[in-house]
Structure 1
Amino acid sequence: MIYATLMDTDFGTLYLQADDCGLTQIRMATPADKPTSATSVFIAQAQSQLQAYLLGQRQTFELTLNPVGTDFQRSVWRELQRIPFGKTISYLELSKRLGNVKAIRAAASANGKNPILIVIPCHRVVGKEGALVGFSAGLHVKKALLAIESPAPQQSLF
């Protein structure tokens, strides 16, 4: 069975989808996306944890994921989950972590096909010298997510 819901955020509406094995998608919603009448514990947990993340109250996710992709794509998505909250890496660093610096284009492609935005933090991968490049949900969303993860500026005591 497939379950789906829509979730409003400050940067747009998210589409969340799950099957009986876990969360399969989080992406920006399209006008054709409709919620299902049946509910899923996987979606309820994702909504709760996403809400806390968006409010700056959560840095990690504890969700059952079931993304659909090739073995290589899934290896990239697992590696993305190892990037700590508030940190970014380059596409070159991602390919190095995968054990093949020549796989940079393949790693970038798999990053761009990530079906579970935010939870699998593809937004933490940036271009050379920190350039914000490529994000399936749009660079404005990538900027918003990175801003959530940026340390708050310290207030002066003087």
Structure 2
Amino acid sequence: MSPQIIDLVDRSTAQKSATDVFEVKGFIKFVPGEGYFVGKWRIKPKQLKNYGYTLKQGIIISVLAKVVRPGSTDIKVIQRVEEDNRKLCDMRNNRVWRKKVPDLIRQIDWFYQERDRLTRETKIPHHVDHIHPVNHPNLCGLTVPANLQVIPATRNRQKSNKLI
């Protein structure tokens, strides 16, 4: 049985049984006194941490889950769906952005082509890095040419979400 895809806002009216496995994908939102939510689904912080997610509002998650009991909005995470958070938001993967700002998309694509070229020529893996990190407690870096650079993957992993 393939999982049901839940939009960022779950518009389904069907009740979920305790055996239904479905995908929950969206932004984490913290509601004081109630907990962490993705759409209408409440997730325990420990579950998110166990699957490698940082508990910050605005982080995008993608997990397979089951409801704790029929009629409940509490869910139990059973598997993380491996997706790069940036890929979900990346304007290069969005056809609307491709039509609206094709020159900007071409400039961003250049960094990915350069990454591939450097990796091929040097045999050292390279990453496209955000100079000002996308996930940082004090700022939010954008995916624009002025905020991108191509660096070796080891250096990018060391940098993590630090502003250097």
Q: If the TM-score is normalised by the length of the shorter chain, which range does it land in? A: under 0.3
Per the normalisation by structure 2, the TM-score is 0.23
Which one has the bigger strand percentage?
Answer: 2
**Higher relative contact order by CA 8 Å / sep ≥ 6: 1 or 2?**
1
Which one has the bigger helix percentage?
Answer: 1
Structure with max Cα Rg: 2
